[in-house]
Amino acid sequence: MKSYLCAIGTANPPYAFPQQQIADFMAEALQLDKDDTRKLKALYRVSGIEQRHTALPDYGRQNGEYEFYPNTPGLEPFPTVGDRMQEYRKSALPLSVEAAQECLAQVPDMDVSQITHLITVSCTGMYAPGLDIELVEALGLPSQVQRTCIYFMGCYAAFNALKVADTICRADAHARVLIVCTELCTLHFQKQQQSDHLVSNSLFADGAAAVLVSPKPLSPLSLRVDAFHCDLAPSGHKDMAWHIHDFGFEMTLSSYVPALIKQGIGQLTQSLLQKLNLKLEEIDLFAIHPGGRKILEVIEEALGLTAKDNRHAYQVLRQFGNMSSATVLFVLHALWQELQPGRHEAPILSFAFGPGLTLESMLLSVHYV
């Protein structure tokens, strides 16, 4: 028995700001001098991002107009973890509901009473009773729906949610699994000038994505799940990480991450393709997590891909930035919009990366009823 991605819905908070406007906020918040401000703006210009969405209006405002951050020089007292989790709880539910409703609306004759399992994913907030229970109530799901929460796995967590859904669907012919990935990364801005923090502040954004997974196609177009493969690059253990500190979740994202991914992506791809006796030359559809522009470029170099092959990842990076676990689903959603019936059974190669350093891969196939 196989599993199928039957629909994907996406959502973003209402505030969207140009990348250079966010750079202005960061420069003032970090109290940078003219030379460091110029360097910061250069970093933002080469990020490949044009705009990002956020749950906080402050990133597009001047000091004196802030709602979340203190209207003081240096933003002191800086918001605590408790402050940030309060904002997460306020903003995560409506964003999640919007993504889930958009997803379910794409499936003909779909009724929420048919949902058997709910998987929620996030690395940017948590509380209990949590987002999963609030979604059951807000969407009107059955109270007996089976719930699984995947926390703190970072940008590759959607793959783990899809693996759980795939296992459920292979075991239960009546399963209908709703996955909701919700990330509010911008709540965790860190007021530090180390390069890791400057880079992460320039990349991360807010968004949610929802996927309906079933053991049979429920819509005219679906994506069949064919195989997964994951690996670890232990030498990158310290190069990408999340840590809970007093003033938010601190992201470590070193400049060595692209090189580590470049070293491991070839073997990861080969191991995945061997499971289905496929060759890389047979694939021309790609859904790669845009962890950053440089990451996309080194994957292209390692696998012989072009920027056109990677266009959906660049599109998502440009319009939305890096939304952690939700991002690769945004890329799949963008690819989905271009699919035509003539691509039936065409394979899709997908990657995502995160703390560990974890390398995740997946093969899907376009399926038309």
Tokens of 125: 């907030």
Which residues in 122-137 are b (16+ Cβ under 10 Å) and which e? bbbbbeeebbbbbbbe
Token pair for 165: 């859904």
Q: Which of 44, 33, 7 is nearest to 204 (CA)?
A: 44
Asked about 181 being catalytic, the answer comes back as no
Which residues fall within 8 angstroms of residue 277, CB to CB, at 6 or more apart?
none
Residue 77, preceding peptide bond in cis (omega within 30° of 0): yes
**356, 298 contact by CB (below 8 A):** no
Whole-angstrom distance, CA of residue 75 vs CA of residue 68: 10
Catalytic residue, from 155, 169, 185, 230: name it. 155
- Find, among 110, 93, 53, 87, the residue nearest to 330 by Cα: 53
User: Which residues participate in catalysis according to the annotation?
Assistant: 155
